[in-house]
Amino acid sequence: MRKLKNEELNRLTTEEFKQQQKAPIVVILDNVRSMHNVGASFRTADAFLIEAIYLTGITAKPPHREINKTALGATETVEWLYFSTTYEAVMHAKDKGYKIAAIEQADQSVFLHEFIPEENTPYAFVFGNEVFGVEDEVVEQSDICIEIPQFGTKHSLNISVSVGVVLWDIISKLQLEK
């Protein structure tokens, strides 16, 4: 066994990426404070060919040196929009036909491994602020709350980790298990 070289990975160029059919998924970042989390979310969205990222409120916008440190160029491939409030971003997604899924611990949340995405249904996944989570009014507007099961003493994951876990799970259910 040997590790593959970069030229053996058959990576898409920026233009090829833009031409690819994307997964019908939007990531909504709800007032995310850390620019490293924003950059990592872009990088993960690129890895899984996600349609777009919606940045809201205090979430930093590209171009920014601190975002680029972790995005590694993904801000050039992944489409993004900015909204002054998360509520506005959610309403925009709803108007475009997306089902809204808040990634949050809630009284009626569904564990991620039990969630089965509907085929041919676009989803907008809302990831909350590092301290406060997803805004209450956004949770109320969501079609579903999805919770990542956790077993230790902490009851939250870093947002960029949550984005990776959720997108991998959803993409594997939609594309890999066909």
Residue pLDDT, tens place only, 163-175: 999 999 999 998 7
Q: What pLDDT was estimated at residue 119? A: 87
HSE, side-chain direction, 13 A CA sphere, residue 84? 0
CATH number at residue 81: 3.40.1280.10
Q: What pLDDT was estimated at residue 177? A: 54
Largest Cα separation within the chain, whole Å, is 51
Does position 158 have pLDDT exceeding 90, yes or no?
yes
Q: What residues make up the domain containing 80?
A: 20-176
pLDDT, mean of residues 138-153: 97
- Give the predicted TM-score (pTM) of the model: 0.95
- 7 belongs to a structural domain: no
- 5 belongs to a structural domain: no
Residue pLDDT, tens place only, 32-48: 999 999 999 999 999 99
- 3 belongs to a structural domain: no
- 27 belongs to a structural domain: yes
